[in-house]
Structure 1
């Protein structure tokens, strides 16, 4: 069983600090827009924040309700009240700190079998709680952080005047995407049996693969928006419909209730607008190839349209720099993608029972061990 280490605890504390700072930056940026009279932009930033908070609170409460099924009703009522005030994530962080501290700093304190069993239980609880938090952070990243990044980049292209808070918002967005994607994979490895620890080199390769492919795609959507906001909206809606339809065809079973399952599928559809996200734990070589090949073609078409049509705004946004950045991110992102899946993808084949690979594996196990919610999500 993988261990929850002191480094994991330190990163957990850092994650809490980043989460709080991110909230402050969002309200700071929104207030700046309101002060400048750009009410639409301020409202848009707050809408992204509100939507992501609402959806993550819904999932968080639903998971508490599932985990505490049969417990005292008053306890769940209190949990519901906290989530109603959009503070449910802090309860999860409190549990993570509680179990994480015990797991990280009491690993060598056992003296007998009963204490060893207790420490193993605490280890599992710490990993399970942190895994739930990281799953919620993935939702937040693609419901709030990534759309905000798109808005901020669009604003930088649109307006000549640049402000410190705009760069701060972009920095926090990139940082949030980077941390959430790596933490997601780290928790996934810890949650699944027979998987190796997510080492530093694979983490870096995976980080650059996700970050660069997302960067090139967000810049491409920003360029479309400059040409035609309507076309950009149609493209985003079309991509969401495609992603949502694909989740329907996969017959996911992540949630216990049908309503929550459809909400989950809608959220995954939004994630699929920006990056690939395997929702059934099946082999996805074909799907991921089609996905990023499509992104590559669309990106190149957008750049071609700008070069041949030469819209008036092309001089204002320094198109040469933007196009080089887009192509460079696209090429390097695809290179890191290939390297990761050819060299660092944790495919494990077992004779007695086969567990699913990470988000891109296949579940064909005959016998299951006691599994967390994350394992149940992967091993459908």
Structure 2
């Protein structure tokens, strides 16, 4: 059983700060667009914010109902009202702070405790709550933060205008993507009994792998949007359709409700537009190879379209910079991906203890029960 440490508590507090700042930056950027008369951009930013908030509230409320045995109707009604006003994530942060503080600072000095207040129970509660929060932040990242980042990059490239709030929004988007991807891996490994701890160096390698590949893909989509908005929309819908069909084929069992399960598959399809997402805890070598090979071919195809069909655009300085950044981030991202899977993947870490590969997901029945709803879900 892994422990909820003081470092985890500090990371939790940092996540709350980023959450609040991110909300403020979103409304600040939207208000700037409205003040400048760019209503479409302002509405688009708020739509991404609203969509992600609705989805995260639905999942958060559903998880509260699933986790409570014989819930008190009055308590459930109160929880519903909190989620109705889009504050569900802060209720989860409150429980995380409560149990996290006990686990990180008070359990070591506590001797006479009840069964429900024993150290292992408190640590498990804190870790489970943090895993739920991290999962919700993953949904938020790819439903809101990543699309907003794409919009901001497109505006900078298309209209050649910039302001401090735009750079602040881009910076917060990169921070949100970075924090959520690494934070989820940390929480997931703590919540699943057969996974090894995520050390500092693997965290950095994993972070750069995700961040660089996502950056390359975002720049590629921005370029094709500059070329043709319709082509960009068609490509995104096609990629989402492929991702959604893949989740259907995998027969995911993440949610107890069929409606929520289809919503989950829809969200995963959106996530798969931007990054690889292993949803069944199976071997990923073939799938991840096909995924990034496809992204590489599409990225190179977009650059070749500009070179041969839009040669006048390639003479502009921004295309040279964006093109070089796209290729460089893609190459470095693939390198970090290879390094991670060769040296820092749980297969390598757990080989001596004959632990299962994180992508294989073969564990004992007891571990599967302890893992809860995340037993069939692995993010790579």
Using the TM superposition, give the Cα deviation of residue 109 of structure 1 relative to its aligned residue in structure 2, in angstroms: 1.6
In the alignment, structure 1 residue 335 sits paired with structure 2 residue 329: no
**CA distance in 2 between partners of 1:317 and 1:252 (Å):** 46
**CA distance in 1 between partners of 2:4 and 2:365 (Å):** 28
Using the TM superposition, give the Cα deviation of residue 308 of structure 1 relative to its aligned residue in structure 2, in angstroms: 1.6
Q: Deviations over 1:24-69 (max 9, x none)?
A: 0000000000111110000000000000000000000000011113
CA contact (8 A) 2:254 2:374 kept: no
Partner of 1:180: 180
Partner of 1:266: 266
Partner of 2:104: 104
CA contact (8 A) 1:252 1:279 kept: yes
Partner of 1:219: 219
**CA distance in 1 between partners of 2:368 and 2:46 (Å):** 43
Partner of 1:140: 140
**CA distance in 2 between partners of 1:196 and 1:368 (Å):** 14
Matches within 5 A, 1:162-177: 162-177=162-177
Q: Which of 139-148 and 317-326 deviates more?
A: 317-326
Partner of 2:120: 120
Q: Deviations over 1:133-161 (max 9, x none)?
A: 00000000000000000000000101122
Partner of 2:307: 307
CA contact (8 A) 1:127 1:187 kept: yes
CA contact (8 A) 2:155 2:161 kept: no
Secondary structure of the corresponding residue to residue 236 of structure 2 = helix
Using the TM superposition, give the Cα deviation of residue 375 of structure 1 relative to its aligned residue in structure 2, in angstroms: 3.4
Matches within 5 A, 1:242-257: 242-257=242-257
Secondary structure of the corresponding residue to residue 318 of structure 1 = helix
CA contact (8 A) 2:281 2:360 kept: yes
CA contact (8 A) 1:127 1:190 kept: yes
Partner of 2:129: 129
CA contact (8 A) 1:132 1:374 kept: no
Secondary structure of the corresponding residue to residue 362 of structure 2 = coil
Residues paired across the two proteins, number: 376
Q: Quickly say closer, same or farther: Cα 1:85–1:248, change in 2 above 3 A.
A: same
**CA distance in 1 between partners of 2:366 and 2:8 (Å):** 30
**CA distance in 2 between partners of 1:298 and 1:158 (Å):** 21
Secondary structure of the corresponding residue to residue 276 of structure 1 = coil
Q: Deviations over 1:334-374 (max 9, x none)?
A: 0000000111000246999x65x43x233253554641435
TM-score between both structures, scaled by the size of structure 2: 0.95
Using the TM superposition, give the Cα deviation of residue 251 of structure 1 relative to its aligned residue in structure 2, in angstroms: 0.3
Query: What 5-or-longer segments of structure 1 have no aligned partner?
Result: none
CA contact (8 A) 2:194 2:367 kept: no
Using the TM superposition, give the Cα deviation of residue 318 of structure 1 relative to its aligned residue in structure 2, in angstroms: 1.4
**CA distance in 2 between partners of 1:350 and 1:280 (Å):** 24
Partner of 1:293: 293
Secondary structure of the corresponding residue to residue 107 of structure 1 = helix
Q: Quickly say closer, same or farther: Cα 1:4–1:351, change in 2 above 3 A.
A: closer
In the alignment, structure 1 residue 28 sits paired with structure 2 residue 31: no
TM-score between both structures, scaled by the size of structure 1: 0.95
Q: Which of 186-195 and 254-263 deviates more?
A: 186-195
Partner of 1:160: 160
CA contact (8 A) 1:188 1:374 kept: no
Query: What 5-or-longer segments of structure 2 have no aligned partner?
Result: none
Secondary structure of the corresponding residue to residue 371 of structure 1 = helix
Aligned-CA RMSD value: 1.9
Using the TM superposition, give the Cα deviation of residue 115 of structure 1 relative to its aligned residue in structure 2, in angstroms: 7.0
Partner of 1:198: 198
Partner of 2:228: 228
Using the TM superposition, give the Cα deviation of residue 307 of structure 1 relative to its aligned residue in structure 2, in angstroms: 1.3
**CA distance in 2 between partners of 1:76 and 1:305 (Å):** 55
Using the TM superposition, give the Cα deviation of residue 72 of structure 1 relative to its aligned residue in structure 2, in angstroms: 0.8
Matches within 5 A, 1:351-366: 357-358=357-358, 360-363=359-362, 365-366=364-365
**CA distance in 1 between partners of 2:84 and 2:6 (Å):** 33
Partner of 1:375: 374
Q: Quickly say closer, same or farther: Cα 1:212–1:369, change in 2 above 3 A.
A: closer
**CA distance in 1 between partners of 2:245 and 2:222 (Å):** 25
